[in-house]
Amino acid sequence: MNNFGYKQAEDTREAISLIEHNETAKFVAGGTNLIDLWKYNIANPSQLIDINHLAELSEIKTLEHGGLRLGAGVKNADTAYHPVVEHQYPLLSKAILAGASAQIRNMASNGGNLLQRTRCYYFYDAEVPCNKRIPGSGCPAKDGYNRIHAILGTSEHCIAVFPSDMCVALAALDAVVNITGPTGNRSIAFADFHRLPDNRPDLDNNLKKDELITSIDLPEKGFAANYAYLKLRDRHSYAFALVSVATALELKGNTIEDVKIALGGVAHKPWRSTEAEEFLKGKAANAENFSIAADLILQGAKGFGYNEFKIKLAKKAIIRNGLMALNPESQLPGAQPSA
């Protein structure tokens, strides 16, 4: 861990101007991932710009045209337990509470959750090659121990997965990421925020170095009647998902009017399939149709040895979570499969 400078930004404008003029500066909010990366010699910022006190980032408010704005600086725990989130967007609340530990959720910010880096073992070990850490150095995960790695959207350069739970729900809910930067404000649809590795695995997302996430907007429709988040992992809490599924259904009787399904733990970003969702629309919400949808979602899925099981597991999880969404009360804490 190197010596570094520290400054509290007065407002977003100052925050942007500080980072614009220092190549090796970093924003810090909760620091729950940055400090790890720093201790492992993976991030070595020369300057920390503390954005915890920025009023513009610290609110949750309803939007005029419906929907909800989640400030980027709001803590994950405060978001999950916010009454509007709990009632209108319970899928998001459940997904957040399935992640990390109570202590980490109390510290971690919403913006930071989007920007957390992969938990690939090889990425975290500065002594071994990793294309995400040192472009062109190689990917030992491909023929290494890859139980936790991706089965969808991989490239020959990287098979890492994006670890967030919260973002799986945000992807399913069609959230929008609001950003500010030196040239003004812009918004990115959630599906376009994170990237697939392709030939630039060093880039996790489309946020530029000198940009700052200010908030995340949720559309009005929160699928509060029929939703489920299922997280499958090697222990019942405080572990990253091997496979997770967020399912949001709008039903008329047992017929699916609208549906969103997003997967976590399987790709470099939360995984959605328009084709699968289109297939389900107008169909009965049953295991058979969820199974067909699962096959559509998992088209092209490819294992690398230790993670082959994820293909079969993801299919089972998509079906089970579809059925769990029919009866949201059946869900257990920690996003475990229903009793």
Partner 1 sequence: MELNKTVGKSISRLEGKLKVTGAAKYAAEYKVDDLLHGYVVSSPVTKGKITKIDTSRAMAIPGVIEVLSHENRPKLAWFDLQYMDMDAPPGTVFKPLYDENILYNGQPIALVVARDFETARYASAQIDFEFEEEIFQTCLEDNLDKARPAKKGFATALKPPPPPPTGEFETAFANAAVKVESEFQHGTEHHNPIELFATTTVYEGKGKLTIYDKTQGTINNQLFVANIFGLRYKNVRVLAPFVGGAFGSGLRPQYQLFLCVMAALHLKQNVRVVLDRKQMFSFSHRPPAIQKMRFASDMNGRLTALGHEVVAETSNFEDYTEPTASWSHRLYPAPNTLFKHKIVPLDVYTPMDMRAPGGSTALHAIECTMDELSYKLKIDPLELRLINYSDVDQASKKPYTSKALRECYLQAAEKFGWKDRNPEPRSMKRGNKLVGYGMATGIWDAYQFPARVQLMMNSDGLLVVNNATTDIGTGTLTVMTQIAADELGLSLENVDFRYGDSKKPFSMFQGGSAITSSTGVAIVVAARALRKKLLKKAAEMNSSPFKKAGDEDVFFESGNMHLKKDPAVMISLKDIIAFNKGIPIKTTNMGKPHMLKLRKYSLATHSASFVEVEVDQDVGTVTVTRAVTAVAAGKIINPKTARSQILGSMIWGVSKALHEETIMDAKLGKYMNANLGEYHIPVHADIGELDVIFADEKDELINELGTKGVGEIGLVGMPAAISNAIFHATGKRIYKLPIHFDELI
Chain positions contacting partner 1, by CB under 8 A? 1-3, 41, 119, 121-122, 124-125, 127-128, 140, 143-145, 147, 230, 232, 234-239, 242, 309-310, 312-313, 316-317, 319-320, 333-334, 336-339
Containing 87, the helix (H) or strand (E) segment is helix 83-88
Shortest gap between Cβ of 197 and partner 1 (angstroms)? 20
Pick 235 or 252: Cβ nearer partner 1: 235
Q: To which residue do tokens 């150095």 refer?
A: 137
Shortest gap between Cβ of 236 and partner 1 (angstroms)? 4
Shortest gap between Cβ of 333 and partner 1 (angstroms)? 8
Shortest gap between Cβ of 185 and partner 1 (angstroms)? 35
Pick 24 or 255: Cβ nearer partner 1: 24
Pick 181 or 334: Cβ nearer partner 1: 334
Pick 176 or 319: Cβ nearer partner 1: 319
- Among candidates 175, 162, 173, which has minimal Cα distance to 269? 162
Shortest gap between Cβ of 32 and partner 1 (angstroms)? 11
The HSE-up count of residue 26 (CA atoms within 13 Å, CB side) is 17
Q: What is the DSSP string of 268-329?
A: SS-EE-HHHHHHHTTSB-SHHHHHHHHHHHTTT----STTTHHHHHHHHHHHHHHHHHH-GG
Pick 22 or 336: Cβ nearer partner 1: 336
Pick 52 or 338: Cβ nearer partner 1: 338
Angle between helices 309-326 and 287-297 (to 10 degrees): 140
Q: How many CB atoms are located within 10 Å of the residue 236 CB?
A: 12
Do 94 and 231 contact (CB within 8 A), yes or no?
Answer: no
End-to-end Cα spacing for the chain: 46
Shortest gap between Cβ of 162 and partner 1 (angstroms)? 16
Distance CA 190, CA 247 (A): 16
Beta strands at 184-189 and 47-50: parallel, antiparallel or unpaired: unpaired
Shortest gap between Cβ of 234 and partner 1 (angstroms)? 5
Shortest gap between Cβ of 339 and partner 1 (angstroms)? 5
Pick 135 or 334: Cβ nearer partner 1: 334
**SS3 call for 121:** helix
Pick 84 or 107: Cβ nearer partner 1: 107
Do 90 and 328 contact (CB within 8 A), yes or no?
Answer: yes
Q: To which residue do tokens 């419906």 refer?
A: 66
Containing 47, the helix (H) or strand (E) segment is strand 47-50
